[in-house]
Amino acid sequence: METIERSNSINKENLKLLITDPMDNVMLQMLQERGIKVDYKPEIDRNSLLNEIPNYDVVVVRSRTKVDKEIIERGKNLKIIARAGIGLDNIDVDEAEKRGIKIVYAPGASTDSAVELTIGLMILGARPIFQGISMVKSGSFKKLSGVELAGKTIGIVGFGRIGTKVARVCQALDMKVIAYDVVDIKERAHKMGVIPVNTIDELVTESNVISFHVTVGNDAKPIVTEEHFKQMKEGTILVNTSRAIAIDGKALLKYIDERKLTLVTDVFWHEPPKEDWEIQLARHDRVLITPHIGAQTKEAQYRVAVMTTKNLIQAIQEIGVSL
Ligand code: NAD
């Protein structure tokens, strides 16, 4: 396809906007209401995208499309990248910023959905609900026992939007809540009746449940490592709806039986599990995995689409297009 050289005078008639992933209808409606023309290609493959991207001023993606260095380099006319989601894992942010490309997304739009899934997973970790349902469906009917959460200590790792709300729900369950973060959370935590701890070691040794709500890059070092598994209380339940990398998975596999640990997680090191140790962990009786569904509710997807579109419309105006 021939590459169009774009002039500086972009207006809403000649603005070229490409959507490369399936998107909630509300985004298309909001853009069309503003008179913005949209090329909607939700199944475009990478080669076609590489061919077509030079012609666009704006690209809008969800998680399927990787906007990496190669795509950004080819996108000679790109001025805005919009990610309809709460994180930017699939965008090469450094490369985009180097080229002065604006990035918009929807931080916080799925907080409530992620909190609710976290609480669900925590309860699944404490009570054999999944095992009980599977057993009854296969024709057996016997008692299965679990543990109560009231009176137990939950350690929240990452006291941001989701961690803070999970803390509030846990307080309502009469759990004692402690929290660890790399930023200073003391004042905010004290106000809520949450106990801030200074080190991850302290959190790990005191908790019956540890719930992860951190934002860390895919190449980050694990926060909970082999040394921590040795110090954990026997029977600790690990809940993770943030980043698998926060936990040293190989070390967990090593200690899961000795320490009688449980892992309930919405995120995995590879999704789906790929390496031998991941497959072993995934098949373990005390490991329950959901397929990364934290933000997959009707409400969260709608909010993500609306927030991304509002931010996108503002960014389009900021590049000089009057709408
Ligand atoms: P947030 O930015 O509001 O909070 C993250 C907190 O983690 C911050 O306070 C930050 O200081 C802290 N943190 C970062 N690195 C840390 C470390 N090494 N140790 C301790 N604390 C650390 O983010 P949020 O909106 O609460 O989201 C939390 C996580 O949940 C993100 O990773 C997000 O991608 C994930 N998430 C997943 C789903 C899902 O589908 N499972 C849905 C929504 C959000």
Per-residue pLDDT of the chain (323 residues; tens, 9 = 90+): 445 555 568 899 999 999 999 999 999 999 999 999 999 999 999 999 999 999 999 999 999 999 999 999 999 999 999 999 998 989 999 999 999 999 999 999 999 999 999 999 999 999 999 999 999 999 999 999 999 999 999 999 999 999 999 999 999 999 999 999 999 999 999 999 999 999 999 999 999 999 999 998 778 999 999 999 999 999 999 999 999 999 999 999 999 999 999 999 999 999 999 999 999 999 999 999 999 999 999 999 999 999 999 999 999 999 999 99
Q: Please tell me whether the peptide bond between 272 and the residue prior to it is cis, using omega within 30 degrees of 0.
A: yes
In the chain, alpha helices (H): 25-33, 46-52, 69-74, 93-98, 111-126, 129-137, 161-172, 186-192, 200-206, 226-231, 249-255, 276-283, 298-318
| Residue 35 in tokens | 């008179």
Closest residue (by CA) to atom 30 of ligand 1?
A: 242
Question: Do 63 and 20 contact (CB within 8 A), yes or no?
Answer: no
* Ligand 1 site, residue 120, Cβ cutoff 6 A: no
> How far apart, in whole angstroms, are the C-alpha atoms of residue 274 and residue 270?
6
> How far apart, in whole angstroms, are the C-alpha atoms of residue 257 and residue 272?
23
> How far apart, in whole angstroms, are the C-alpha atoms of residue 162 and residue 110?
9
Question: Do 200 and 228 contact (CB within 8 A), yes or no?
Answer: yes
SS3 of residue 252 by DSSP: helix
Q: What share of the chain is helix, strand, coil (3-state, %, to 5)?
A: 40, 15, 45
Question: Do 87 and 61 contact (CB within 8 A), yes or no?
Answer: no
Tell me how many helices (H) and strands (E) the chain has: 13, 12
Distance 214 CA to ligand 1 centre (A): 3
Question: 94's torsion region: left (phi>0), alpha (psi -120 to 50) or beta?
Answer: alpha
Distance 243 CA to ligand 1 centre (A): 8
> How far apart, in whole angstroms, are the C-alpha atoms of residue 286 and residue 39?
46
> How far apart, in whole angstroms, are the C-alpha atoms of residue 277 and residue 265?
16
* Ligand 1 site, residue 291, Cβ cutoff 6 A: no
Nearest to 84, CA basis, from 44, 45, 26: 26
Distance 115 CA to ligand 1 centre (A): 11
pLDDT single digits (tens) 104-114: 999 999 999 99
Find where tokens 């039986």 sit. 257
* Ligand 1 site, residue 155, Cβ cutoff 6 A: no
Triad 75, 89, 189: Cα angle to 5°: 140
> Ligand 1 test: best mutation among 194, 200, 212, 213, most atoms within 8 Å of CB?
213
* Ligand 1 site, residue 183, Cβ cutoff 6 A: yes
pLDDT at position 1 is: 47
Q: Give the CA count within 13 Å in the CB-facing half-sphere of 94.
A: 1
Question: Do 81 and 31 contact (CB within 8 A), yes or no?
Answer: no
Question: Do 2 and 51 contact (CB within 8 A), yes or no?
Answer: no
| Residue 131 in tokens | 């095992």
* Ligand 1 site, residue 109, Cβ cutoff 6 A: no
> How far apart, in whole angstroms, are the C-alpha atoms of residue 52 and residue 228?
49
* Ligand 1 site, residue 223, Cβ cutoff 6 A: yes
